[in-house]
Chain A
């Protein structure tokens, strides 16, 4: 079966995920998942609802310990060290949560400034300047003094993106960046993600099932299946659409109904 994109990518490996098993108690979510994310790539984690995409993301950003397997971030083993080393590696991460997850008691500007105030020794006026810059990049400069509750969903997401970039991370994680956004805002966000990757040279990992956006931005990826509870295909979304012969992946990529005789729906 053709479910592995032939790789010609020679960029250095940024994140190496090896034989990872994720479980809540006895309930296994995903097992034996392995993949490599290369530096500067936009890596898509795909799959139907409830297949464990977000759980995989959670384990990559340190919120859930995998029951088996390793995550290497360049030369560092992410989960083998103590909390301190994990936090140190995690300082290189920026995470955009599904609904922004902005701290509601602070203004947008304060949200972006907080990590800088906590982890750098920059002077207040420099921080202010960098906050303006980051909000400017996502087109949210006008909302710098507004509270999250005054913003729309799309604005919250963009503000969340500015906060994720607060410490200039070289690895960015996006959880469903375009879910719940209108097509224009969503396209703008895609363009922004591409520009950030090109401009800052960040490695980006996206969890999403928004096909049009994935085809546009992602250049590598993995497909998780809810029934087999493991990764069933590797490759960029466009490659999976055009070449993958697995029926589930094919149906997903072409927005078709799955033939019920071959597999059950993945809820």
Chain B
């Protein structure tokens, strides 16, 4: 049909509705048996947003004599929108179930057109799959999934390491620009928050220690307490937790957004290896900056401890400095240094993996970021426990 003719037709339809807008009142219907037919009278304004919409009961056609048609009277019908169509749809379904013959052609043409678009039978929603709790299966599945993930992360780590070596000999697919921007995001940009947190941790350690040590007039040992605690445990762990929340979450969000935009697919089609193009710079950045941030954290933490001791206790600056040096053999630093390198690599790899595995919607990006932070923090603390056992065994 050419569009020109349509305009006239539509204008007529519009007129039909405009004339009827004078009728007002709540939407109503009633069924009235007449000679040789049953009449459904529709009246009032059927506007969804005004509410009070009637339902058509399932037993609505019970009294209709068999074989007699049901017709509509719409003379008293006012304004209407889809709520009327919804009512008619329900009526049509009931009529179908009760084998009642419905004279749809007695409805206004515009309503008929919309009714024609609707499917005859509404689909029955599929029942949700039975959800029985099976502990053995669940534990088995969890174990398999975890092992699978560990395998994937190791494989990714190996691929990234390979890419790293390739980059060293100058045949890598990593761009220096990416590495530099990741380094700056993971390093200098994190200095403030890492500094604040470690300063406070050092100060808190000094507070807690001073209460007990003061009883023994051993105030000076606050210095060694703070130094050993910061260097062995607190600085590495606190810095790793901050970085898991800050940088790990950002990596996961970035990579899962790229996944959602098909950017990862585009990389793969070009044959650019995701492991060395995307993951290597991120992991390298974290693995490289984390030990440096750890050293910085140690220093700031001891400064926090000194600050508290100087103000609260009777400790001279020189004495504090001397006691700190006494308490710290260099191998303590090596241990913490290795730990923070491992933490950095772990956070980088897991958060990239979680980003890559994420779904393709906006909600999935949020889930991936949350998951990266949670896995990062829990993983760092678990790894720290493993390190503690190793340190105990080899006697550091």
List residues of chain A with CB under 8 Å of any chain B CB: 9, 11, 39-41, 104-105, 116, 119-122, 126, 129-130, 132-134, 136-137, 139, 141-142, 144-145, 147-149, 165, 167-168, 192, 194-201, 215-219, 236, 238
Contact = CB atoms under 8 A, between A and B. Distances in A.
7 contacts: A129-B90, A139-B119, A149-B359, A149-B360, A198-B9, A198-B10, A198-B113
B6 interface: yes
B3 A218 contact: yes
A105 B361 contact: yes
A132 B6 CA distance: 29
B49 A168 contact: yes
Contact of A219 (B7, B48, B83, B118): B7
A165 B85 CA distance: 13
A129 B86 contact: yes
B14 A39 contact: yes
B381 interface: no
Given A39-B14, A105-B362, A136-B117, A200 B89 contact: no
A236 B3 contact: yes
A163 to B, nearest CB: 13
Contact of A142 (B13, B86, B123, B360): B123
A218 B2 CA distance: 11
Interface in B111-148: 111, 113-114, 117-119, 122-123, 125-126
A235 B110 CA distance: 26
Given A104-B362, A137-B82, 7 more contacts: A40-B10, A104-B361, A130-B83, A137-B114, A198-B109, A201-B17, A201-B110
B118 A133 contact: yes
Contacts of B51: 120-122
Contacts of A41: 7
Interface of B: 2-4, 6-7, 9-11, 13-14, 17, 47-49, 51, 53, 81-83, 85-86, 89-90, 109-111, 113-114, 117-119, 122-123, 125-126, 359-364
Contact of A201 (B2, B4, B13, B48): B13
B49 A167 contact: yes
B7 A141 contact: no
Nearest to B16: A201
Given A137-B118, A218-B3, A130 B86 contact: yes
A122 B123 CA distance: 23
Most buried by B among A104, A119, A194, A197: A104
Contacts, number: 113
B122 A141 contact: yes
Given A9-B7, A104-B362, A236-B3, A201 B14 contact: yes
Interface of A is mostly: helix
A132 B121 CA distance: 12
A168 B11 CA distance: 20
A216 B6 CA distance: 11
B3 A217 contact: yes
B3 A134 contact: no
B77 to A, nearest CB: 14
Contacts of A145: 125-126
Given A136-B117, A136-B122, A165 B10 contact: no
A141 B119 CA distance: 9
Contact of B114 (A121, A149, A195): A195
B114 A200 contact: yes
Closest 6 CB pairs of A and B: A104-B361, A199-B114, A105-B363, A168-B81, A136-B118, A149-B361
A168 B359 CA distance: 33
Given A105-B362, A120-B48, A149-B361, A199 B110 contact: yes
A198 B3 contact: no
A200 B108 CA distance: 12
Contacts of A116: 48
Given A120-B49, A145-B125, A195-B113, A200 B119 contact: no
A7 to B, nearest CB: 11
A243 to B, nearest CB: 13
B110 A238 contact: no
A126 B3 CA distance: 36
Contacts of B83: 130, 168
B127 to A, nearest CB: 11
B3 A148 contact: no
Contacts of B9: 198
Contacts of B359: 149
Given A121-B51, A168-B81, A238-B3, A40 B118 contact: no
